[in-house]
Structure 1
Amino acid sequence: MQTVLVPFDGSACAERALQYLVTAAQSFADMRVHVLNVQPKAALYGEYFSSEMLDKMEAATLQHAAEINAKALEILSAAQIKCTGHEVIGEVISEVGKAVKAFGCDTVVMGTRGMSNFSNLVLGSVASRVVHEVSVPVLLVK
């Protein structure tokens, strides 16, 4: 594990995955961690939104994602682990796959359950879909 992607949603399970990574980092010199927060695209109906309003909504969404990532970056930085936060708007599974490729990650470390437990029941868990979609090992932390 040299370059690790951590999908982070701020949930307790995601925080446990970070803590596991902090402990594991002691065994891996020069580990680099990319923390990714993916926010869903707003579902808007009708033609009542100006492009300026849409831009403001997107900026606020990305700011919210950065606030969530700040906690993860604080934990990793306190453990002296090199880390970078990334905030995107999109669908979690595809964005995780894109990030793995873009950042050259060799491992994904993530919690087994996130904030969206209802959608996990309906669609299957995000964690299991990530396992099947990415081309690198995925370490799931319970």
Structure 2
Amino acid sequence: MHTVLVPFDGSASAKRAIQYLIDFSKDFTQLKVHVLNVQTEPVIYGEYVTPDLLDQLHAGALQHAAEVNAEAAAMLGAANIAHETHVATGIVAAEIGRAVTDYGCSAVVMGTRGMGSLKNLVLGSVATQVVHEVAVPVTLVK
């Protein structure tokens, strides 16, 4: 069985990555897809945030992640591809690396968002970070 992780943020390139898997799923006798949406932790300035509010922000981020994943799940379900959806909060590339290990994935298929050369030079891209973070093949779909 081939187990593939698809980091999914709802962008057009992430949708193309899902479609890429759907198109090539006939080449695999057994395919299992893990869809992961990672939300970054909220940045809080000052000390005016209560623990309850932090819990609400965290829960809201996870709810949003689940809503984003629903679109990928619908696409994979319509193509009769076995899949699970997962949500997380944290540093995106690190969470993707953790998911590859936790779910026993043999590959990552992900979209690129095309930030542009200057912004990519300054910040680095998540896709580039993932390529360096994981020990399995990474397919980038533009």
What TM-score, normalized by structure 2, do the two folds share? 0.93
What runs of 5+ residues in structure 1 fail to find an aligned partner? none
- CA deviations over 1:63-122 (Å, ceiling 9, x no partner): 0010000000100011000111111110111000000000000000001226xx375352
Which position in structure 2 is the counterpart of 1:2?
Answer: 2
Deviations 1:29-53 (A, max 9, x none): 2200000001010000111111111
What is the RMSD of the two structures over their aligned residues, measured on CA atoms? 1.4
Alignment check: 8 A CA contact 1:5 1:108 kept? yes
CA distance in 2 between partners of 1:11 and 1:58 (Å): 22
What's the counterpart of residue 41 of structure 1? Answer: 41
Matched, 1:88 2:88: yes
TM-score by length of 1: 0.93
Amino acid at match of 1:57: L
1:1-142 alignment, distance < 5 Å: 2-113=2-113, 117=115, 120-142=120-142
The residue type equivalent to 2:141 in the other structure is V
In structure 2, C-alpha distance between the alignment counterparts of 1:17 and 1:36, rounded to whole Å: 13
My pick for the range that moved more, 33-42 or 21-30, is 21-30
SS at match of 1:63: helix
- Helix, strand or coil for the counterpart of 2:27? coil
Q: Give 1:19 deviation, angstroms.
A: 0.3
Whole-angstrom distance in 2 between the partners of 1:67 and 1:13: 17
- Take 2:65 and 2:112, find their aligned partners in 1: how far apart are those partners? 20
Distance 2:18 2:77 in 1: 11
Pairs aligned (count): 140
Runs of 4+ in 1 over 4 A off after TM superposition: none
**Equivalent pair of 1:39/1:90 in contact (CA under 8 Å):** yes
Aligned to 2:110, what secondary structure does the other structure show?
strand
Q: Percent same amino acid at aligned positions?
A: 57
**Shift in Å, 1:123:** 1.3
